[in-house]
């Protein structure tokens, strides 16, 4: 899949400030309401609101839709499947009438054929690069595997385009503890070879609920920082 480089989008929020990166563990978010809003294939047809969006991206079948159900504690809010390629559109879920969780199609499912892959890549690229409301993109990584080239290339592309992101390791209930720790460590070490500063990362299982408080706490910390009054402008 060819990820095209685009000029930096200067209107995008850059939120991974040190205070959010280290203070989010003290935040707690309660999901009072979660409802499906809309599905579509174009960033310019997404909801016409100013609400912040937190989106999930990653390889097909990595567990994006399952994680949305786990975070919202709704069994089948987002559609999941054991067969890769279930989510093919941009899906908006409104949370607490305040912010959106966005479920995106997966990348890298070669069996779909070149044309279909290209179409999905376009949907993803347009949303990620053009959606001003996109506040943080969570890149989901399957914790059962060693670092995969396709994920590394996608993350590199995010960096080139100045897209704020976090890493979420999924399916942590599957590998043995030692293997899980090794895979996470290897992935973050590989990232540190290219990045001066590492993004926040979370270890989750949609089956056991592991990581739920941490991911929601992070979203809450970012939401709070958006509500905080801007620094006063000092006039001389
Ligand atoms: N054991 C375990 N299985 C999981 C977990 N998360 C997802 N799965 C399973 O992985 C498969 C894919 O999950 P989805 O949530 O549909 O994955 P997706 O990334 O949305 O996939 P696409 O929409 O096809 O790109 C399903 O069979 C899920 O039950 C997890 O944390 N633990
Ligand atoms: Mg899905």
Q: What percent of the chain has pLDDT over 70?
A: 86
- 109 falls in which pLDDT band (50, 70, 90)? confident
Nearest CA to ligand 1 atom 28: 82
* CA dihedral over 83, 137, 78, 133, signed as positive or negative: negative
- CA distances, 168 to each of 5, 74, 97, 210 (Å): 24, 19, 24, 11
Protein residue closest via CA to atom 14 of ligand 1: 63
DSSP reduced 3-state for 21: helix
156 in contact with ligand 1, CB cutoff 6 A:
no
Torsional sign, CA 145, 148, 152, 154 = negative
pTM equals 0.90
State pLDDT tens for residues 37-88. Answer: 999 998 889 999 999 999 999 999 999 999 999 999 999 999 999 988 888 8
Q: What is the DSSP string of 111-130?
A: GG-HHHHHHHHHHHHHHHHH
Helix, strand and coil in the chain, % to nearest 5: 35, 20, 45
CA of 216 to the centre of ligand 1 (A): 19
For 10-225, give the CATH class.
alpha beta
Q: Count other C-beta atoms under 10 Å from residue 159's C-beta.
A: 13
Q: How many CB atoms lie within 10 A of CB 32?
A: 9
Q: Is any atom of ligand 1 closer than 6 Å to the C-beta of 66?
A: yes
* Position in ligand 1 atom list of the atom nearest CA 170: 31
Ion ligand 2 residues within 5 Å by Cβ? 64-65, 86-87
């Amino acid at each position: 899949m060819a990820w095209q480089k685009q000029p930096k989008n200067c209107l995008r929020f850059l939120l991974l400030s040190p205070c959010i990166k280290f203070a989010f563990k003290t935040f707690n978010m309660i999901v009072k309401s979660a409802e499906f809003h809309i599905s579509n294939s174009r960033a310019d047809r997404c909801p016409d609101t100013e609400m912040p969006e937190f989106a999930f991206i990653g390889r097909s079948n990595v567990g994006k839709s399952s994680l949305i159900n786990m975070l919202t504690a709704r069994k089948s809010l987002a559609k999941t499947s054991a067969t890769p390629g279930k989510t093919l559109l941009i899906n908006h879920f409104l949370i607490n009438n305040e912010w959106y969780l966005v479920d995106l199609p997966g990348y890298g499912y070669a069996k779909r054929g070149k044309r279909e892959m290209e179409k999905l890549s376009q949907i993803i690229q347009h949303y990620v690069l053009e959606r001003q409301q996109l506040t943080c993109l969570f890149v989901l990584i399957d914790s059962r595997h060693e670092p995969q080239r396709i994920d590394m290339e996608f993350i590199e592309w995010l960096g080139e385009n100045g897209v704020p992101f976090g890493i979420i390791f999924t399916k942590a209930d599957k590998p043995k503890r030692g293997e899980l720790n090794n895979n996470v460590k290897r992935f973050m070490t590989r990232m540190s070879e290219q990045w001066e500063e590492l993004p926040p990362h979370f270890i989750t299982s949609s089956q056991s609920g592991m990581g739920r408080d941490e991911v929601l706490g992070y979203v809450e910390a970012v939401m709070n920082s958006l509500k905080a009054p801007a620094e006063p402008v000092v006039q001389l």
